[in-house]
Amino acid sequence: MTLEEYTDKMHDASKERTRSRAEIQARYQKALDQYRQLLKSTENVKEQKLLVFNEIKLLGWILGKRDKDVAKELNQ
């Protein structure tokens, strides 16, 4: 990807609308479910688990959840 393409992509992303709390909460729950499914997987999905875990942590932070609470929800 060229610098120009990257800059265009970042500019387009900055025009996205702000997500509502309900949308963020829904994405958070979906990511939790996805993470739990990955934990049950017998395949090597280490990178996918890490990506989903980081998304969950970020969404939790946006929602104002403490790391401790996010970890507790992950282990339910």
pLDDT tens-digit series, residues 22-42 = 999 999 999 999 999 998 888
Q: Which helix (H) or strand (E) holds 62?
A: helix 46-62
Every domain of the chain and the residues it spans? 43-76
DSSP state of 43: S
How far, CA to CA in Å, does 8 sit from each of 1, 14, 50? 11, 10, 28
**Radius of gyration for the alpha carbons in the chain, expressed in angstroms and rounded:** 15
pLDDT of res. 66:
93
Write down the mean pLDDT value for the chain.
84
pTM of the model: 0.72
Q: How crowded is residue 63: how many other Cβ atoms within 10 Å of its Cβ?
A: 14
More confident residue, 72 or 18: 72
